[in-house]
Structure 1
Amino acid sequence: MSLLEIERLTAGYGEAVVLEEMSLSVSEGECLAVLGRNGVGKSTLMLAIMAHAARFAGRLRWDGHDFSTLSTNQRVGLGLGWVPQEREIFPSLTVEENLLVAHRRGGRFDLNGIYEVFPRLKQRRRNMGDKLSGGEQQMLAIGRTLMTSPRLLLLDEPFEGLAPVIVEELEETLMRLRRDSGFAIIIVEQRAEDVLRLSDRAIVLDRGKIVLEGKSAELLADFEQVHRWLSV
């Protein structure tokens, strides 16, 4: 049984349809990459999973149970963890306070656990959220989501605007976390070749529909077919 199943999802905003009859699944411990040009529905998919976009039709299932009508907070309680593209760090809170507001009692991660994953956050724990670099803010955004003890981590363009050395550090951290903690990942990212190396499977979106999908290693080996959709 899949951890997350999306069946013929149509979603968008107001009366505007962005995703049309989309179906996909993610298994426990799997990493799925979501690729595509700007404006094709990648972020809307993440927002629809987290109940921040309107669902017009279709079903979402978690461990085989329909969660289509649950609120965002209820979905977090199930084990869905979202790291938004904007990071949404609380600027007037310290690093430590940003982490503690998301702490889930009895979860697998506490402050010490996050500081082991991101030692730099421990060094900055008393800094205010708006006094961090872009890379540190992204570490904090991921760390805060880990404090909710997710079984599925949703990452929306986590490497955007970051220096290559920070991207490499985050990639290594995500691979280690996945190996050690066993959670699944859906990652939206513009760096197609990088994310194909990180993931097990990938889908390519165009105009709100899946136009290409397959094992990441196979898509990377024949990257030209991916590039065609990304450069149209």
Structure 2
Amino acid sequence: MLEIDSLSIGYGEKVLIREFSLRLEDGECVLLAGRNGSGKSSLLRTLAGMQRALKGSFHCSAASIFVPTGTIRVKGFSVLDFLNTSSAKQARWGVSFDDKASERSYRAMELLRILELADRDISTLSDGEFQKVCVASALARLVTAGSGISEGLLLLDEPSAFLDVDASAVLLETISDLAHSHGLTVLFSSHDIYAAMKYSDRVLSISSDGSICFSGRGEGEKLSALGRAFKHIIM
């Protein structure tokens, strides 16, 4: 569960997102939508503790894990190596590991359906394959001793970036299913708003004036929230 109280996001004196409050429940998969430069990545980084808020506060009842886009690949590391060294149960993009790391990593790869990539050098992966590996590294940090998934907040910045239409749909459906079946709270951004809306429970949209609209669960309500952010393409 994530509770946000009177939060404002920005840099210095520049306000990107004006004061807002809301609550995300366990098991919810929420689409974060807005134009380029609206503050989507800044909001995700703030909730991950990587950027200071201008005002307000937030509280997460479980571990929060941020998955950025543009993670650097180092030649000579297999996918399993990468997952092992980034699967520490920490709130940020970790680099340490323990003797249970491989067990957690294999379980995460199984959930993302990428077991066949385990021994591949990460430098040889396509952009889409590597994006799935990055999401798997976040899941690995939530795998429990019994191979279950603990509650947590996943903050995903463009998880379907670089994927084709079919692969994007599979990944977003998998993320949504994991949220519902394991009680994860997921907040993810996407430029493919119509496809992403299909796999989200609600929509959190950022308007051009920095105001927030948080939809209900109905399709009409989600479309209305998207319309606040994309008035030029949604009627």
Q: 1:98 aligns with which of 82, 88, 104?
A: 82
Structure 2 CA distance, aligned partners of 1:225 and 1:6?
Answer: 18
Structure 1 CA distance, aligned partners of 2:84 and 2:225?
Answer: 44
Residue by residue, what CA displacement relative to the aligned partner does 1:144-183 show, whole Å, maximum 9, x if unpaired? 1111116111111112231112112212321332233221
The amino acid that maps onto 2:108 is I
Aligned-residue offset at 1:14: 4.0
Aligned to 1:163: 164
Please say which of residues 15-24 and 208-217 is displaced more in the overlay.
208-217
Residue by residue, what CA displacement relative to the aligned partner does 1:94-148 show, whole Å, maximum 9, x if unpaired? 20111001233679x712212312343x322222222101121111000111111
Structure 1 CA distance, aligned partners of 2:28 and 2:133?
Answer: 23
Aligned to 1:188: 189
Aligned to 1:28: 26
Would you say the 8 A contact 1:89–1:129 is kept in 2? Answer: no
Structure 2 CA distance, aligned partners of 1:33 and 1:178?
Answer: 13
Aligned to 2:4: 6
Residues 26 and 160 of structure 1: CA distance in aligned 2, closer, same or farther (over 3 Å): same
Structure 1 CA distance, aligned partners of 2:225 and 2:60?
Answer: 32
Residues 219 and 33 of structure 1: CA distance in aligned 2, closer, same or farther (over 3 Å): farther
Q: So what's the TM-score if we normalise by structure 2?
A: 0.79
Q: Any gaps of 5 or more consecutive residues in structure 2?
A: 90-97, 143-150
Matched, 1:117 2:114: no
Aligned to 1:205: 206
Aligned-residue offset at 1:79: 0.9
Would you say the 8 A contact 1:89–1:141 is kept in 2? Answer: no
Structure 2 CA distance, aligned partners of 1:211 and 1:175?
Answer: 22
Q: So what's the TM-score if we normalise by structure 1?
A: 0.80
The amino acid that maps onto 1:126 is D
Aligned-residue offset at 1:16: 3.0
Aligned-residue offset at 1:204: 1.5
SS of residue in 1 equivalent to 2:118: coil
Structure 2 CA distance, aligned partners of 1:181 and 1:227?
Answer: 31
Would you say the 8 A contact 2:16–2:39 is kept in 1? Answer: yes
> Matched residue pairs, number?
212
Structure 1 CA distance, aligned partners of 2:10 and 2:113?
Answer: 39
Aligned-residue offset at 1:58: 0.4
Would you say the 8 A contact 2:215–2:221 is kept in 1? Answer: no
Would you say the 8 A contact 1:197–1:216 is kept in 2? Answer: no
Please say which of residues 19-28 and 203-212 is displaced more in the overlay.
203-212
Aligned to 2:133: 140
Q: Any gaps of 5 or more consecutive residues in structure 1?
A: 64-77
Identity of aligned residues (%): 25
Structure 2 CA distance, aligned partners of 1:32 and 1:44?
Answer: 16
Aligned-residue offset at 1:227: 3.8
SS of residue in 1 equivalent to 2:131: helix
Aligned-residue offset at 1:193: 1.6
Aligned to 1:69: none
SS of residue in 2 equivalent to 1:90: coil
Q: 2:54 aligns with which of 46, 53, 56?
A: 56
Would you say the 8 A contact 1:46–1:156 is kept in 2? Answer: yes
